[in-house]
Chains A and B, each alone.
Chain A
Amino acid sequence: MKRKNIIIAIIFIVCILYLWSKSSTAAFQSILTGSVEGNIADWSIKIDNKDVSTNIEKTIGITDITWNSTHTRNGKVSPGSIGTMKIKIDPSGTDVSLNFSLEIIDKTIDSEKILEVTRLTSPDITLTQNNNIYSATLTKAQINNEISPTITLEIEWTNDDNVNDLEKNLDNLNNYIEIKFIAEQLGA
């Protein structure tokens, strides 16, 4: 009981001392408001007008495709169709130089795919080819000059009498062609 009283007394004294010390130093005080502003470079990449700025992989269906099929309804695709697919890479708003690459997985790489890329052109930028991977660098100056490279792929649904494409799952768009896009800041 005696010990309990001592503890209560100590707590009481500490409280008094705390309140006293607070009021005694309250006479001189200033309020400072500060903020730190960092100039963080922006990173903004769009493909086919769809934002892919995050490192989380997104699946994007390229819609800018023109098909040329004599015996097929306009806009529809069938074996024998030849088309032009345009991939527009828009880095506007990015404050750093970057490297990007396109890994094309078509019928020549994976026989289960349906479409084949017969030609690839890029008038805005020079692409370096390493097998089925095409890469290029976009400098900060090029980005500032609003260069948004458009990669044009000539694609074809080749008709092979020995392969029945109807046996493949034609409803899954990934079965036609897959292109892996990666963009990385140049340097660190």
Chain B
Amino acid sequence: MNKLRVRAIKNISFYEEKKKTLLFFLSLILLIFISYFLLKYSFAKYRSQAKLNASIDRAIYIFETQEMTFNLDPNKIIPSDSPYVYNFTISNFKDENTCDVDIEYTLKIRSTTNLPITIKLYKNENYTNNNSTNLISSFSTSQDEDGAWYRIYPTLGPYQFLYTTRTTDTYTLVVNFPKEYSRNTLYSDSIEDIEVTVNSKQII
């Protein structure tokens, strides 16, 4: 029994020896490879490489609009001799930042055809002034894909903002709902929607 145990121990020692030798040679081969690559790197010919790009200070595009959609609720407006007045502004700056490019913009107004209203638009002017210019001279009627009818009001323009000047254009939308319709119950439940669309682009 003891002899068998001694033989087993001898066998284990033999394999451990072999394992150590194998590890030694593997380490040696690894060392040779590492040395080879290090030497190769050290004695390779000179080489430089770089990725170049352009340092660019991009222009900021700022076009600020406020209050562009107006819902004329029949509970809030009634036929009257006095017009309903709405204001909105368009600017080429926001807070401390100013647009870095010249901008050109146009306005388009679209309304539903539920109420017999008339629309006028004034730019940086008091609409009550007799010399003020109404930017809307006519309208056309069109139907969308869903069958709804709209009035399209083209306006004068285009208008410009220069990057050298912080500018705000104030627009006054004047809506007339004549008093003569006050006795007509046809419009009592109707809601009129007016959309002002502003398209802007950089001047090149």
Q: Chain A interface (Cβ within 8 Å of chain B)?
A: 41, 43, 45, 47-48, 52-55, 57-63, 65, 69, 71-73, 75-80, 85, 87, 94, 96, 98, 102, 115, 155, 159, 166, 170-171, 173-174, 176-185, 187-188
Contact = CB atoms under 8 A, between A and B. Distances in A.
Contacts of B55: 61-63, 65, 173
B51 A178 contact: yes
B52 A47 contact: yes
A82 to B, nearest CB: 11
Q: Which of A45, A73, A181, A182 has the most CB of B within 10 A?
A: A73
Nearest to A181: B50
A177 B54 contact: yes
B48 A72 contact: no
Interface residues of B, number: 24
9 contacts: A65-B55, A76-B60, A78-B100, A78-B101, A98-B46, A178-B53, A180-B52, A182-B47, A187-B45
B94 to A, nearest CB: 16
A178 B50 CA distance: 10
A183 B53 contact: no
A52 B48 contact: yes
Interface in B74-120: 100-102
Given A63-B55, A85-B54, A115-B54, A181 B100 contact: no
Contact of A75 (B48, B57, B60, B202): B57
